[in-house]
Structure 1
């Protein structure tokens, strides 16, 4: 029997998120071309729903269709009550309860959390909204760094591309790798990224200023050198204790952690933009050996240097 996927459309929905389930599940077929999923859309009262891009859509169903769905998907939302204050309507909350499988893409996790579906569970959402999510829903075991979380009957994902990854993951679990890979080729997408892989987050450096700013600039210019705490404090003309305290006050982290993050960021840049071998990348980034770089990069983003380079070369 065809598996029915119902997509719940909310005001200010993220336009691409809404299209992801239909595109991905709609391309999942048997080797003979038989469709494996039926994707339907619904809204409260089957009313038109407006997106942030300035147009509206008219779903084919109201929330009653959720009673016939095998999987429910809640796309992300750019604004609205569910994102701003963590509330949703009682009708929607009741409709989402007790379903066999429910998924969210990006900030759709706010909707699931507001309905009480994520209490005590691991979940993720887009990293830019993680702090707000944690404030509103402290009972959720939020992991803002991963691409998606599969907790059995409830699954959550990060941004748009992670929603694609989650859909392919579901197809793979339902029908195996061959079907999922075939659907991925139809969508011109990589067939697999592990959910535990880190979101590729653009973490900007703190603005220059403060007692350690000049030393931070010096550190960035000498990432390939051994930089111990005593040498850094000497450069800043402070005691080790004072330097460590001021550095943490200005950056929010210890000197060692900050230095390691900058080395990882530099290594990622070199892997993305140069043809340097992994050993040379490791040396220039200050990790010394390819083994050390591999360990640090895997801890940071969940993949090896070669896998990271391969991903970005295919974008």
Structure 2
């Protein structure tokens, strides 16, 4: 039996507290061969869920519940900028040392980041807090657009639907894609078939039969424009939901994540093949400002655009590429 320890701090969002039991309980009910124990574990100081509709709560486990857990889920909470409650850092480090997988939901990433375990790794958090995470923990490569980011034994998530995304990721890793998909369908079942459902099905079939190549080429030719997912969907003549599914199937990335990678790739090309100033590169690649280009470029390459250009020029002129880069 796999043990899932759900670590809750004071002000935890109610949906994040209940989602793990819902996901893993549903998986076990629908697939009798599966066995999970979900433990609700209180960090010191836990009193109630966050607003709105705050509820006082009590849990059967404290930090001792992490001792033999296969997976530790660190939930979001109020006061995520503060240091973790007493004992939490040591408990998470001990879990990692034992080989436990550790996942953080939403602002729970701040708690995990404070342990130092994410240093040198990729991670994400609730989208409105990604810049804050990058500022507080500069040794972490913050993915500003990721929904679930996996790096070694660590998973972090934007916290969509109370952490449903990361729970399904754990389930998929343990028992395969089919079990995760069937569990997701059981949890999110349409109550009726509407015209929108039918149109979405037709859109998906058309998009999958035609392919994304025309839209990808159009997008890469228009990187300077402030493109949105609805813009891409309109070009592909499909719905946003169908376009998003197709992007994941075709590229492994969300539309916005693919767009960001395309912009960064073009910026790298301009830096190495042209003398276009960084300010103009930012405009031509759609970043809006040199500061935005520098922030995203450093997250991808670990260096500033000008330093990247200079290093490649040194390589081209016979310098040591290894030392320059």
TM-score by length of 1: 0.60
Stretches of structure 2 that go unaligned for 5 or more consecutive residues are: 191-221, 244-249, 260-325
Q: Displaced runs of 4+ in structure 1, greater than 6 A?
A: none
2:158 alignment partner in structure 1: 158
Q: Is the 8 A contact 1:30 1:179 kept in 2?
A: no
2:231 alignment partner in structure 1: 266
Q: Is the 8 A contact 2:26 2:183 kept in 1?
A: yes
**SS of equivalent to 1:131:** helix
1:151-196 CA distances to partner (integer Å, 9 max, x unpaired)?
Answer: 1211101132483222112111111223222322221269xxxxxx
* Residues 1:84 and 1:258: Cα distance change in structure 2 (over 3 Å): farther
* Residues 1:32 and 1:268: Cα distance change in structure 2 (over 3 Å): closer
Residue correspondence of structure 1 range 175-214 to structure 2 within 5 A: 175-188=175-188
* Residues 1:173 and 1:274: Cα distance change in structure 2 (over 3 Å): closer
Q: Is the 8 A contact 2:74 2:104 kept in 1?
A: yes
**SS of equivalent to 1:27:** helix
* Residues 1:112 and 1:260: Cα distance change in structure 2 (over 3 Å): same
Question: 2:25 matched to 1:10?
Answer: no
Structure 2 CA distance for aligned equivalents of residues 178 and 267 of structure 1: 29
Structure 1 CA distance for aligned equivalents of residues 26 and 241 of structure 2: 35
Structure 1 CA distance for aligned equivalents of residues 140 and 254 of structure 2: 26
2:87 alignment partner in structure 1: 91
Q: Is the 8 A contact 1:29 1:35 kept in 2?
A: yes
* Residues 1:19 and 1:90: Cα distance change in structure 2 (over 3 Å): same
**SS of equivalent to 1:12:** coil
1:222 alignment partner in structure 2: none
Residue correspondence of structure 1 range 231-310 to structure 2 within 5 A: 257=223, 259-261=225-227, 264-268=229-233, 271-272=238-239, 300-302=256-258
**SS of equivalent to 1:102:** strand
Structure 1 CA distance for aligned equivalents of residues 239 and 29 of structure 2: 36
Structure 2 CA distance for aligned equivalents of residues 36 and 136 of structure 1: 38
* Residues 1:152 and 1:26: Cα distance change in structure 2 (over 3 Å): farther
Stretches of structure 1 that go unaligned for 5 or more consecutive residues are: 191-255, 279-293, 304-315
Structure 2 CA distance for aligned equivalents of residues 120 and 274 of structure 1: 33
1:252 alignment partner in structure 2: none
More helix by share: 2
Residue correspondence of structure 1 range 44-59 to structure 2 within 5 A: 44-45=43-44, 48-53=47-52, 54-59=54-59
1:235-282 CA distances to partner (integer Å, 9 max, x unpaired)?
Answer: xxxxxxxxxxxxxxxxxxxxx6552425x543446744899xx9xxxx
Aligned residues: 214
Structure 1 CA distance for aligned equivalents of residues 127 and 138 of structure 2: 16
